Amino acid sequence: MPKKKPAVVVTRRLPEAVEARMTELFDTRLNPGDRPMSQAALAEAVRAADVLVPTVTDRIGRKVIAAAGSRLKLIASFSTGVDHIDLAAAHARGITVTNTPGVLTEDTADMTMALILAVPRRLIEGERAVRDGKWTGWSPTWMLGHRIWGKRLGIIGMGRIGRAVARRAAGFGISVHYHNRRRVHPDVEAELKATYWESLDQMLAQMDIVSVNCPHTPATYHLLSARRLRLLKPDAYIVNTSRGEVIDEDVLAEMLRTGAIAGAGLDVFEHEPSVNPKLLRLDNVVLMPHMGSATIEGRQAMGEKVIINIRTFADGHKPPDRVLVTEY
C-alpha cells in the first residue's frame, strides 16, 4: 500500500518545475494568484496541513504556530533566512523547521559585489542621466565617483555569503577585513587573505566599504545602531544584502542625507516591501527590491531543497536542512 501523500501548503508561486514536481509527489495546495497570504489565511492553512512551505514574505509567528493542527510537523521554508519564523514556538510544538542554505550564496554575493561597484562608481545615477537626456558628452569633472581598487572592505558575518563576497572582492583589488561571532579557521582566513577584527566598533571606524552578510537574529537586530553607524568614516559606503533589520535604517537615511556617510547599496529593508521614504529621496543610495537570490538557477535550486527536505521528513528521516534553535 502506498503511503498517504503529505498535505503540503505552499504560500507563494514557486518556479513552474518546482510546483509540478511538488504536485506529483505531495498532496499540494499551491497559490496560483501569488498574493501573500494574510495571517488569518496562514492560520487557516496550518490547521489541516502536514507541511507548510512559506517564504520570506510570510510571518510565521507565535499566533500562526498556535493555530496549527496536530498534523503540522514540518515548516519547509523556501528561504535561507528564517527570521520570519518563530523558531522557538515551532520547536516547542514539535514542528521541525528547514531552510535552503547554500544554493543562493553565489547569487547573493554577486548582488553584494554589484552594489559595492554601483554605489561608489555612481552607476545608477549615470544611467539615469543618460535616459533623462542630461548627458551632454564626456566631461573631465562630471559624475565622478570613487575608486574601488585598493579600498578596505569590512564584512560583517563571515559565513558562506561573506566568504563568497571576500573571494570576489579580492579580484577587484580590495583588502578584506571581517567581524564574525567566531573567528573563522586560520586556513579560511589565509585563503581569503582576510583580517579578523574582534571588535566590530574598531573595524567600522577603519573601513571604506562595509558589507552586511550576517543573518537577522535577536542578537543582530540593529547591530549597526546609531552609535555604531556614527563610527563610520564620512567617505565610507555601506552595502546590505542580508536583512534590513540589521541596520537602524532611520539613522542611516539621515546620515546619508547629511553626508555623514558617502553612500549605501541596499537590497533589503526594515519593513519590506515598504521602503523608508527618506531613502527614496536620496541620490547616494542604490535601492534594490530584495533581488539577491533572484536567479532562475537559484530559485530552482531552492525549490529542489524544499522538496528534498519534505521527502526526507515524510520518509521518517531527519531532513538535511534542519534549523536548530541554538543556531539563532
Residues that bind ligand DGY (CB under 6 A): 56, 79-81, 104, 290, 292-293
Cα 262 from Cα 252, distance rounded (Å): 11
Nearest to 76 by CA among 52, 46, 60, 93: 52
Closer CB to ligand DGY, 156 or 255, in the complex:
156
Active-site residue (options: 152, 216, 290, 299):
290
Closer CB to ligand DGY, 79 or 309, in the complex:
79
Closer CB to ligand DGY, 152 or 168, in the complex:
168
Taking the complex as a whole, the smallest distance from the CB of residue 218 to ligand DGY amounts, in Å, to: 17
Cα 162 from Cα 178, distance rounded (Å): 9
Taking the complex as a whole, the smallest distance from the CB of residue 104 to ligand DGY amounts, in Å, to: 6
Phi-psi region of 143 (alpha: psi -120 to 50; beta: other; left: phi over 0): left
243 is catalytic: yes
304 is catalytic: no
Active-site residue (options: 47, 272, 311, 322):
272
**159 within 8 A of 181, measured Cβ to Cβ:** no
**276 within 8 A of 255, measured Cβ to Cβ:** no
127 is catalytic: no
Taking the complex as a whole, the smallest distance from the CB of residue 235 to ligand DGY amounts, in Å, to: 29
The count of residues in the chain is 328
Active-site residue (options: 122, 177, 243, 299):
243
Rounded to the nearest 10 degrees, the angle between the axes of helix 123-131 and helix 105-118 is: 70
CA 198 to chain centre: 23
Closer CB to ligand DGY, 80 or 312, in the complex:
80
| Residue 237: partners with Cβ closer than 8 Å, 6 or more residues away | 116, 119, 120, 208, 209, 210, 261, 262, 263, 264, 265
Closer CB to ligand DGY, 292 or 303, in the complex:
292
Closer CB to ligand DGY, 192 or 323, in the complex:
323
Cα 52 from Cα 310, distance rounded (Å): 10
Taking the complex as a whole, the smallest distance from the CB of residue 95 to ligand DGY amounts, in Å, to: 19
Which residue is closest to ligand DGY by CB? 81
Cell of 141: 569633472
CA 196 to chain centre: 23
The residues that bridge with 176 in the sheet, in sequence order, are 153, 194
Taking the complex as a whole, the smallest distance from the CB of residue 78 to ligand DGY amounts, in Å, to: 7
Closer CB to ligand DGY, 56 or 200, in the complex:
56
Taking the complex as a whole, the smallest distance from the CB of residue 314 to ligand DGY amounts, in Å, to: 23
Nearest to 160 by CA among 202, 103, 119: 103
**231 within 8 A of 205, measured Cβ to Cβ:** yes
Cα 48 from Cα 72, distance rounded (Å): 7
Taking the complex as a whole, the smallest distance from the CB of residue 81 to ligand DGY amounts, in Å, to: 3
Which of the residues are catalytic? Answer: 243, 272, 290
